[in-house]
């Protein structure tokens, strides 16, 4: 008699199924509606294919399109496989490499035949058509377990040299799986949907083609990467394409040119040339953040740009971060011991990629008593990181950047209160800019420094602080992220949501016990003995460059009046009003308004259009009548109607609008 398996469902019920049964069998027994809707299964917590048999008694939860995140990742992974099959069908001799799901779609890297050359965007419509044919064929996606030897041989036999190379590096004895859809297959861990027909043929779009090095190494072969976006249905795709269109309108690089804020060029690749208008925004943010830091008890410092490499070795950054550092000279001898300098006498220096070791050196000057703690050291610190050329992106990813950085040195007992206070400070800042946000806790990675005991304590302290701040709830999007902490500390992350629903990770605070130990920081406790402080690394903007980029895109260039580089322009209709316009500018400047005049002999509609493109919040139009009556016609950006008011009323209105939020009553 065959023994029945006990399959426990989320509602507490138990189904008895014969050996060899699959989640699809359970779904079919429950009902045809669920059998059709089920996309994948969680078996004992592991996401699996619907057709993979149970190995024994199990807990089962079925995944449907209502489980949006999981369903989207499954669909996007399937779209990637369909893309790869379509390309190889259309362009024989093309080799496949890797094709993962991404946040909004998928991509696949290909090695086209030498005679074919790289793929182009002209190829995409034909590939999309073939993908739809594959989806319509409703071919099952079947999981098979192979040995490493089988994998290597199959890929070699079929001319897949890149896959054969990768398979040869996989560990012996590990369970290796492939997924087959008809005659096509790829090495993959899965899971996948039951068949290609589970995808919506109208819910994907191929978006672009780019180059990508094999395994991300520029010494290797250049591949063709085809990107796509994939969704569960046509409506989701349409909404996404609208968001992309809106994002293109808000692109900070485009608006930066139109508003004359900054530029980038090859002579300083990865660094920003700030124009007067753009640097006005920077200065306003810097003044705002200084007021916030002064009010929260931070003391501002300034530390060197270049430091001895021995300092970075001692801190641990040399071994963990060397490839992203600019070293002087730029060639350092190799060593078998990772991170250890070959010559202790060598005069190697490095541009600082972060401020923390320098802040420890400031803290270590003199003897510190427990009575002086906490000590909060802040710096508008310029840092340099050797980011890959292809990763650079306008203001969002640069090689030279300035952080609103600070480090808090405190006792063990002070950690929770300091983190709680920071949560409240960050909350006030983000609300001043109108952002909603989520707080996430990034937990210990596999490769880390410090003891498990220290990590346990540090992670719990961050939880306790968020709870004490009243932010560990759905309103603040609380979430824990296993394995995503820094190598030396767990961290709280602030993820802002912008006007079109995108999220940006900006602020952070990290509870670090590693760096004070490595750099021998100490204070004198009540007992007269030396103790290690806890070091809290924290930032709110993250970097000024990136935060300004986010603000430009969030507000579509229409920055709040207090941040706008030019808050008002007085524009004349006729030259008879020039003297009155100059008087108006003088009154506005005396009130602290950043104002320009436009006395050009141009039609007023031309002036209005030009200053609207420059995103000037208020245009004060004056003609002969306004000069005689002491009035101005105020045109506010984004509003159809103008308002006529006295010059004094306009000055008062602009003074109120131009006051930073932290200085308002």
**Beta-strand runs (E) in 371-490:** 375-384, 400-410, 436-442, 479-481
Instruction: Put the strands of the sheet holding 222-230 in their side by side order.
Output: 95-96, 105-111, 222-230, 204-213
Q: Which of 356, 382, 410, 423 is catalytic?
A: 356
Is residue 231 a contact partner of residue 72, using CB atoms and an 8 Å limit?
yes
Assess whether 491 carries a catalytic annotation: yes
Is residue 210 a contact partner of residue 227, using CB atoms and an 8 Å limit?
yes
The rounded Cα 9 to chain-centroid distance in angstroms is: 37
For 495, half-sphere exposure in the C-beta direction (CA atoms, 13 angstrom radius) is: 16
Q: Which of 405, 427, 498, 512 is catalytic?
A: 405
* Secondary structure (3-state) at 382: strand
Q: Which of 385, 397, 546, 611 is catalytic?
A: 385
- Partners of 496 in beta bridges: 437, 504
- 473/460 Cα distance (integer angstroms): 16
* Secondary structure (3-state) at 581: helix
Q: Which of 76, 322, 444, 491 is catalytic?
A: 491
Is residue 387 a contact partner of residue 396, using CB atoms and an 8 Å limit?
no
Assess whether 537 carries a catalytic annotation: yes
Assess whether 57 carries a catalytic annotation: no
Helices and strands counted in the chain (H then E)? 20, 32
- Partners of 383 in beta bridges: 401
- 640/620 Cα distance (integer angstroms): 14
Can you give the three-state secondary structure of 42-107, one letter per residue?
A: EECCEEECCCCCCCCCEEEEEECCCCHHHHHHHHHHHHHHHHHHHHHHHCCCCEECCCCECCCEEE
Q: Is 79 left (phi over 0), alpha (psi -120 to 50) or beta?
A: alpha
Assess whether 431 carries a catalytic annotation: no
Is residue 539 a contact partner of residue 405, using CB atoms and an 8 Å limit?
yes
Is residue 22 a contact partner of residue 181, using CB atoms and an 8 Å limit?
no
The count of residues in the chain is 665
**Beta-strand runs (E) in 97-249:** 105-111, 141-146, 176-181, 184-187, 204-213, 222-230
- Partners of 493 in beta bridges: 440, 508
Q: Do β-strands 204-213 and 184-187 pair in parallel, antiparallel, or remain unpaired?
A: unpaired
Q: Which of 95, 181, 403, 510 is catalytic?
A: 403
DSSP calls for 218-271: TTS-EEEEEEEEE-SSHHHHHHHHHHHHHHHHH-HHHHHHHTT-EE--GGGTT-
Containing 633, the helix (H) or strand (E) segment is strand 631-636
Cis omega (within 30 of 0) on the bond before 329?
A: yes
- 308/352 Cα distance (integer angstroms): 10
Is residue 147 a contact partner of residue 171, using CB atoms and an 8 Å limit?
no
Is residue 117 a contact partner of residue 164, using CB atoms and an 8 Å limit?
no
Assess whether 405 carries a catalytic annotation: yes
Q: Which residues of 196-211 are buried (b: 16+ CB within 10 A; e: fewer)?
A: bebbbbebbbbbebee
Please state, as a whole number, how many other Cβ atoms lie within 10 Å of the Cβ of residue 573. Answer: 18
Assess whether 356 carries a catalytic annotation: yes
Nearest to 174 by CA among 155, 191, 187, 163: 187
Q: Which of 320, 537, 594, 615 is catalytic?
A: 537
User: Which positions are catalytic?
Assistant: 356, 385, 403, 405, 407, 491, 537
């Amino acid at each position: 008699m065959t023994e029945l398996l006990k399959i426990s469902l989320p509602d507490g019920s138990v189904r008895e199924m014969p050996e060899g049964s699959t989640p699809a069998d359970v779904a079919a027994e429950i009902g045809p509606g669920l059998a059709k809707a089920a996309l994948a299964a969680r078996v004992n917590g592991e996401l699996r294919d619907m057709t993979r048999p149970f190995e024994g008694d199990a807990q089962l939860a079925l995944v449907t399109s209502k489980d949006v995140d999981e369903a989207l990742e499954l669909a996007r992974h399937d779209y990637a496989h369909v893309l790869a099959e379509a390309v190889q069908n259309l362009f024989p001799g093309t080799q496949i490499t890797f094709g993962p799901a991404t946040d909004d779609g998928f991509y696949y890297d290909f090695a086209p035949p030498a005679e074919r050359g790289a793929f182009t965007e002209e190829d995409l419509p034909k590939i999309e058509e073939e993908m739809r044919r594959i989806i319509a064929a409703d071919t099952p996606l079947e999981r098979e377990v192979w040995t490493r030897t089988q994998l290597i041989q199959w890929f070699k036999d079929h001319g897949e040299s890149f896959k054969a190379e990768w398979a040869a590096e996989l560990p012996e004895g590990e369970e290796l799986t492939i997924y087959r859809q008809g005659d096509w297959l790829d090495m993959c861990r899965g899971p996948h949907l039951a068949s290609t027909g589970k995808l919506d043929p109208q819910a994907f779009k191929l978006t672009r083609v780019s180059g990508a090095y094999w395994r991300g190494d520029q010494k290797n072969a250049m591949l063709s990467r085809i990107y796509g976006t994939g969704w569960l249905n046509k409506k989701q795709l349409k909404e996404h394409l609208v968001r992309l269109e809106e994002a293109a309108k808000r692109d900070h690089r485009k608006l930066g040119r139109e508003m004359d804020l900054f530029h980038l060029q090859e002579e300083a690749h990865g660094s920003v040339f700030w124009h007067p208008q753009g640097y006005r925004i920077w200065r306003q943010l810097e003044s705002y953040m200084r007021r916030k830091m002064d009010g929260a008890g931070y003391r501002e410092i300034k530390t060197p740009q270049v430091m001895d490499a021995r300092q970075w070795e001692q801190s641990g950054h040399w071994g963990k971060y060397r490839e992203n550092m600019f070293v002087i000279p730029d060639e350092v001898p190799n060593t078998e011991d990772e991170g250890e300098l070959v010559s202790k006498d060598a005069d190697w220096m490095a541009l600082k990629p972060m401020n923390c070791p320098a802040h420890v050196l400031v803290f270590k000057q003199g003897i510190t008593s427990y009575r002086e703690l906490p000590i909060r050291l802040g710096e508008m610190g310029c840092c340099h990181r050797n980011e890959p050329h292809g990763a650079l992106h306008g203001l969002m990813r640069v090689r030279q950047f300035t952080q609103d950085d600070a480090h808090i040195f405190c006792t063990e007992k002070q950690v929770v209160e300091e983190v709680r206070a920071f949560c409240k400070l960050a909350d006030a800042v983000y609300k001043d800019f109108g952002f909603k946000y989520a707080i996430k806790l990034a937990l210990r990675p596999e490769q880390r420094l410090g003891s498990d005991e220290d990590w346990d304590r540090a992670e719990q302290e961050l939880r306790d602080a968020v709870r004490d701040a009243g932010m560990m709830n759905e309103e603040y999007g609380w979430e824990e992220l296993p394995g995503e902490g820094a190598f030396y500390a767990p961290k709280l992350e602030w993820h802002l949501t912008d006007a079109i629903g995108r999220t940006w990770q900006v602020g952070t605070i990290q509870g670090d016990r590693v760096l004070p130990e490595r750099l021998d920081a100490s204070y004198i406790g009540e007992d007269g003995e030396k103790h290690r402080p806890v070091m809290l690394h924290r930032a709110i903007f993250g970097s000024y460059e990136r935060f300004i980029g986010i603000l430009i895109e969030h507000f579509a260039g229409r920055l709040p009046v207090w941040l706008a580089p030019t808050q008002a322009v007085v524009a004349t209709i006729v030259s008879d009003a020039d003297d009155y316009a100059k008087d108006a500018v003088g009154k506005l400047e005396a009130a602290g308004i950043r104002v320009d005049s436009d006395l050009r002999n141009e039609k007023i509609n031309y002036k209005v259009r030009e200053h609207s493109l420059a995103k000037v919040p208020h245009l004060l139009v004056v003609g002969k009548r306004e000069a005689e009556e002491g009035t101005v016609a105020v045109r506010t950006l984004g509003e159809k109607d103008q308002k006529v008011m006295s010059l004094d009323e306009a000055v008062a209105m602009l003074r109120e609008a131009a006051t930073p939020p932290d200085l308002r009553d």
